[in-house]
Amino acid sequence: MTTTHPTVVIGGGIVGICCALYLQKEGLNVMLIEPAMAGDSTAKWSCGQIAVSEIIPQSKPGIIKKVPGWLLDQKGPLALRPSALPGLLPWMLRFMTHARRSRIDTIAHELASLTRCAFQDYEPLLAKCRRDDLIGHHPTLELFDDAAGLAHEQTYVELRRALGFVSETLNAEQIAAMEPALAGRFSHGLLLSDWRTVCDTETFLTELTHSFVEQGGTLVQGSVARIESQGSRAVGVTLASGEMQPAEQVVVAAGNGSSAFFETLGIKVPLIKVGGYQVLLPNPGVDLTHATFYADGGFGLIPMERGLQIGGTIEFAGNHAEPNFKRAEIILEKAKTILPSLNTAGMEFGAGWRPFLPDTKPVIDKSPLLENVAMAFGHGQLGLTIGATTGRLVADMLQGRDSQLNISPFSASRFTLAGG
C-alpha cells in the first residue's frame, strides 16, 4: 500500500540503495536522492568483497605504537597525513580505546551478527535484478610472505573460526594450483571459503539501482540541503536546488555526507572519512581467478569485469582532504613486485572515502529527535558486505517491527555514553 508522500532515502551508495529496495519490498513509495550517477559511489572504488569474516576492528592491540610509523612512512599500507593529525587527534584517542582484547572480541561478535546474514539478505534483492551473476562463486585468498606473517594473524583466524566463519590454511602447491600466476611466490596462505567477490563494483551498484527504478522507485539526481521537520517528525527534505520534497519517512544513508544532518537528527557522532586507493588495469596481461590479498604487502588483486583492480591502502587524511594518488602509484609498484609483467596501459586511479567510526561499527538506529527518521551510515570497509542487512534492519525499524537481531550495539547514542 503506497503512502501519499514517499519515503525519502538520502544517499544512493550501496547502503542507501539497499535501504530503498527493502523499503520498496514493503510496498512503500520510495524516492532515492543521490548527487552522483548510479554506480559512482564510494563502493565503486572498493575491493568488491562480500567479506563476511572481516569483523576484526582496525584498532588491534598495540595500535598506539604504530602511529609514529604511520606519520613517518607515507608508503606503508596505512598512513596518517601529518597535516591531519591535530584535527584527527580526538578521533584517534577514541579509536585507541577499542584496542583492548576484550573490546576486539566484543566488536567482532557484534559485527558478525550482521555479516553472517549478508548472502541471505542480498538474495531477495538480487532475484529482481536483470543478471544472475552479480556475485561470483570463487572464494578469496589471503597470502603471506612467510610462516611468521600467518602466525601473527592466528589469534584472529581462530576468533573468526570460533564465530562460525570458514578458512583453510594453504601451502605453496595449493596456492600455485589455484593461481598459477603466483606460483613460486607464496608458500603460506588462507583460503577464505565464505568470502565472495562481486562481478564488478560499478556494475553491482548500477544493477541494483536499475532494479529499484524498474520496480517503480523514483531516482532523483541531486543533493539534500536539509531535513524539514514539524515537532517530532520529519515532513520532507529541501534539495540544494531549493525544491521542497514532502516525505512520509526519511532515511539518512549518505555515508560521509550524513554528518551534515547530525544537528537536525539530534546526535553527536565522530564520523570521519578514510581514504582507500585503487588502480584499475583494463588489460592487465595476467590471469587471476580469485580475489587475492597480500597481507604483508597491504594490498589486494581483484579481478573484475572492467579489469584487474589493485587496492587496499588506507589513509587518514582529514575530512576535507583531496585524494593523494601517489598512494595509488605506490600500490601499483608493490603489485609489480609479485606480478612484474602487469600491463599498465590505460590504467585508471580511483579513491573511495570510507565513512569510519572509532569502533569500526556502523550506526543503524532511529533519530532520537525525529521518530520517522532512520539512520544508516559509518559502515567503513563493510558497506558492500552488510548493505543488504542494513537495508532489512532499516525497513524493520520504519515499519515498527522488532528485529531478530540485537541492534543496540549500533546505536548512535553509544558515542555519548561514558566510555563510548
* Total-model pTM: 0.95
Based on the domain organization, do 183 and 234 belong to the same domain? Answer: no
**Chain segment 324-345, per-residue pLDDT in tens:** 899 899 999 999 999 999 999 9
Q: How many domains does the chain have?
A: 2
Based on the domain organization, do 286 and 388 belong to the same domain? Answer: no
**Chain segment 185-197, per-residue pLDDT in tens:** 999 999 999 999 9
**Chain segment 109-160, per-residue pLDDT in tens:** 999 999 999 999 999 999 999 999 999 999 999 999 999 999 989 999 999 9
Asked if the model's pLDDT at residue 29 lies above 80, the reply is: yes
Based on the domain organization, do 277 and 345 belong to the same domain? Answer: yes
Mean pLDDT, the chain, rounded, equals 93
Please state the rounded mean pLDDT for residues 372-376. Answer: 98
**DSSP string of 13-71, one letter each residue:** SHHHHHHHHHHHHTT--EEEEESSPTT-SGGGGS--EE-TT--S-S--TTGGGGHHHHH
CATH number reported for the structural domain that contains residue 245 in this entry? 3.50.50.60
Pick from 59-68, 259-268, 411-420 the range whose average pLDDT is largest: 259-268
Please, are residues 367 and 265 in contact by the beta-carbon 8 Å criterion?
Answer: yes
Based on the domain organization, do 241 and 114 belong to the same domain? Answer: yes
pLDDT on residue 182: 96
Of 356, 388, 407, which one is at a domain's C-terminal end? 356
Asked if the model's pLDDT at residue 1 lies above 60, the reply is: no
User: Which band of pLDDT confidence, cut at 50, 70 and 90, is reported for residue 404?
Assistant: confident
Based on the domain organization, do 343 and 378 belong to the same domain? Answer: no
Based on the domain organization, do 91 and 32 belong to the same domain? Answer: no
Of 311, 337, 356, which one is at a domain's C-terminal end? 356
Based on the domain organization, do 276 and 403 belong to the same domain? Answer: no
Asked if the model's pLDDT at residue 2 lies above 50, the reply is: no
What is the span of the domain harbouring residue 156? Answer: 64-96+137-195+271-356
pLDDT on residue 62: 67
Based on the domain organization, do 157 and 201 belong to the same domain? Answer: no
Asked if the model's pLDDT at residue 214 lies above 80, the reply is: yes
Please state the rounded mean pLDDT for residues 358-363. Answer: 96
Of the candidate ranges 58-62, 134-138, 399-403, the one whose mean pLDDT is the lowest: 58-62
Please, are residues 144 and 169 in contact by the beta-carbon 8 Å criterion?
Answer: no
User: Which band of pLDDT confidence, cut at 50, 70 and 90, is reported for residue 417?
Assistant: low
Of 356, 371, 399, which one is at a domain's C-terminal end? 356
Based on the domain organization, do 53 and 68 belong to the same domain? Answer: no
Based on the domain organization, do 329 and 243 belong to the same domain? Answer: no
CATH number reported for the structural domain that contains residue 70 in this entry? 3.30.9.10
Based on the domain organization, do 31 and 178 belong to the same domain? Answer: no
Alpha helices in 83-153 (DSSP H): 85-96, 101-115, 118-126, 147-152
Based on the domain organization, do 55 and 141 belong to the same domain? Answer: no
